[in-house]
Amino acid sequence: MAAWSGPGQLTSLQPATTPSNRHDVRPLARLLEQPVRAGRNPPQHSVWHGSVRNHATDRTLSDAQWAHIAGEMVAAVGIAPHDDPDAVRWVAIRHADDHIHIVATLVRQDGRTVWAWNERLKAQAAARDLEQRYGLYAVGPADRTSHRRPSPPEQNKSARQGLTAIPRDRLRRDVRACAAAAINEADFFAALRAAGLLVRLRRSTASPGEVTGYAVGLAAHRTARGDTVWYGGGRLAPDLTLPQLRRRWHSGTGPNDARTHPSTDGRTDAFLRAAAATQRAAERLTRSRAAEDAPALFQPVADILTSAARAFEGRNRGPLSGAAEAFDRAAREPYRRVVRQSRSASDLRALARIVATTGRLTGDRDTAAALQLLAQLAKFADNLADLREAQQRLHQARAARHAAGRLHSIVARGTSPGLTGGPVLGRAGASTTKPQRRAT
């Protein structure tokens, strides 16, 4: 539905249908490859491929509209600028109502090779512009706060092996939980090993005793040769590199930072203290969103939610764990931005470490206190979503809204996220008095 030669040649470029009802693309492929074969120094990998997809809520675009979008995309990435008759050859193919595929060969028709530098960022910027021009769902600009998603080979390998969780995802959740509960670097590495992860430290070549990074793996996740598949912290999430984690950890244990599992009364007290601190942080965020120290509160509150999810649900990825992952994305600051730490942030981290030691809920009082904590976390997520929207960081705003929605849903049900058929509150999160009814 679009090509380098303009709309007048589309009919002649359309692949013919064979008797077996398949398309014969060989003539089209030969036309695309002609500049590569005639090029002076063609690259080893000469094919560029991109896909452009609309959101599920978008209207169906016409072929002419998709053709315009394809032309804008190849121009934006620099491989086929407008009004350049010697640019590369490319075609756009529409497989369904909601998306197209663009294929180009990276040798211009004058024989010169094209190098598509930073084409992903350029294509994303073009997509944001096209969203506005066509009135489509606004995805938002790239903010480099997302973690790496499992690749198709990772997903396929996990499916073949019958794994319940893709290794990259499991490692990211385990590392994040250990980081939230750790007092310092040594405690973090010990917690990783205690969680059953393999740990490999990277040491400085200039100062052999200095640790500059780490990687983690699973004993059962290996290559075809039997080697462990290692994931550095940065390959799991941008805030899980060792330098980023070092900025988060407090030098001491913090006030009343217990390292043993508390009793029921201790759990109730821990949840109430964490709820009160989260409430103060949410109110502070509402009053002073532009304050320089406000971002220092985001990650410690995320640590509290991460610790609560691990304490209540363990490694089973339930609704609370999903909320924690979404909240963590919303809490991250832009790439390379250094957050100024504060005493309030240190106190919140200390409470996150205490929550990490609480374990499963056992009764009405600690369940009520836990739900009160989740209610305050939901309010903080709402406030954070408002802030991210004001900052035009739409990916993070949607992540915060998603986390808030899940947390509000858990609190509204009034059931313990850590107990099957656990206690039910007469008014979720309203008090720590004994509930009037129980789940059946």
Q: What is the DSSP string of 91-151?
A: EEEEEETTEEEEEEESB-TTS-B---TTHHHHHHHHHHHHHHHHT--------S-SPPPPP
- Cβ-in-10-Å burial (0-12, 13-18, 19+) of 164 comes to exposed
Give domain status of residue 187, yes or no: yes
Q: Are residues 80 and 170 in the same domain?
A: no
Q: Out of 235-244, 263-272, 303-312, 321-330, which region has the weakest mean confidence (pLDDT)? A: 263-272
Higher pLDDT among residues 186 and 294, named by residue: 186
Q: Is residue 362 part of a domain?
A: yes
Q: Whats the size of the chain, residue-wise?
A: 440
pLDDT tens figures, 277-306: 999 999 888 776 555 567 888 999 999 999
Confidence at residue 400, expressed as pLDDT on a 0 to 100 scale? 95
Residue 339 placed within a domain: yes
| Residue 229 backbone dihedrals phi, psi, to 5 degrees | -90, 115
Can you read off the two tokens belonging to residue 223?
């290559």
Q: Which of 129-143, 380-394, 416-430 has the highest mean pLDDT?
A: 380-394
Mean pLDDT of the chain: 84
Type of residue at 437: R
Evaluate whether 231 touches 168 at the Cβ level (below 8 Å): yes
Hey, is 80 helix, strand or coil? coil
pLDDT digits (tens, 9 = 90+) for 309-352: 998 888 877 899 999 999 999 998 876 666 777 788 888 999 99
243 with 280, same domain: the answer is no
| Cβ atoms of residues 113 and 39 within 8 Å | yes
Amino acid of residue 114: V
Q: What is the DSSP letter of 415?
A: B
Q: 151 and 80 in contact (C-beta within 8 Å)?
A: no
Find the helix or strand (DSSP H, E) in which 170 lies: helix 167-181
Helix (H, G, I), strand (E, B) or coil at 228: strand
Q: Please check whether residues 169 and 211 belong to one and the same domain.
A: yes
Q: Where are the alpha helices (DSSP H) in 249-393?
A: 264-287, 298-313, 319-331, 343-356, 364-390
Structure tokens at 356: 């990490």
Residue 431 identity (one-letter amino acid): S
Q: Flag whether 305 is in a domain.
A: yes
Residue with the two structure tokens 């598509």: 116
Question: Rounded to whole angstroms, what are the CA distances from 184 to 39, 90, 158, 249, 264?
Answer: 57, 53, 33, 6, 27
Is 157 within the bounds of a domain?
A: no
CB 80 within 8 A of CB 125: no
- Domain shared by 328 and 382, yes or no: yes
Domain's final residue, options 248, 278, 298: 248
Question: Worst-scoring range by mean pLDDT, 77-86, 125-134, 248-257?
Answer: 248-257
Same domain, 64 and 8: yes
Determine, yes or no, domain membership for 294.
Answer: yes
Q: What is the pLDDT of residue 262?
A: 59
pLDDT at 42 over 80: yes
Structure tokens at 35: 């500049």
More confident residue, 354 or 438: 354
Residue 106 in this model has a pLDDT that exceeds 90: yes
pLDDT, residue 380, reads 95
Mark whether 182 and 61 lie in a shared domain: no
Q: What is the pLDDT of residue 141?
A: 64
Choose one of 185, 217, 248: the last residue of a domain: 248
Compute how many other C-beta atoms are within 10 angstroms of the C-beta atom of residue 84.
14
Q: What is the pLDDT of residue 208?
A: 78
Q: Do 241 and 271 belong to one domain?
A: no
Report strand pairing: 231-232 vs 211-217: antiparallel
396, part of any domain: yes
Q: Which helix (H) or strand (E) holds 201?
A: strand 198-203
- Asked whether residue 102 falls in the same domain as residue 166, the answer is no
- Nearest CA among 4, 22, 21 for reference residue 13: 4
Name the 3-class secondary structure at 280.
helix
Domain of 379, in residue numbers: 264-438
CB neighbours of residue 169 within 10 Å: 19
Tally Cβ neighbours within 10 Å of residue 287: 9
Residue for token digits 């990490």? Answer: 356
- Asked whether the beta carbons of 329 and 281 are under 8 A apart, the reply is no
In a domain, 84, yes or no: yes
H/E element holding 75?
A: helix 63-76
Report CA-CA distances (Å) from 437 to 145, 249, 431, 440: 43, 42, 14, 9
Asked if 292 and 419 sit in the same domain, the reply is yes
- Cα-only R_g, the chain: 26
How far is Cα 140 from Cα 138, in angstroms, rounded to an integer?
Answer: 6
Residue 57: its pLDDT value, please? 92
CA–CA separation, 4 vs 148, rounded Å?
33
Residue indicated by tokens 């939230």: 180
Q: 20 and 120: one domain?
A: yes
Residue 355, token pair as written in the block: 């929550």
**268 and 242, same structural domain?**
no
Mean pLDDT across 371-397: 91
| Count helices and strands in the chain by DSSP H and E runs | 15, 11
- CA 103, 104, 110: angle at the middle one, nearest 5? 165
Does residue 342 share a domain with residue 310? yes
Q: Which amino acid is at 411?
A: V
Q: How many independent structural domains does the chain possess?
A: 3
Burial class (CB in 10 A: 0-12, 13-18, 19+), 325: buried
Q: Of 137-151, 196-210, 377-391, which range is least confident?
A: 137-151
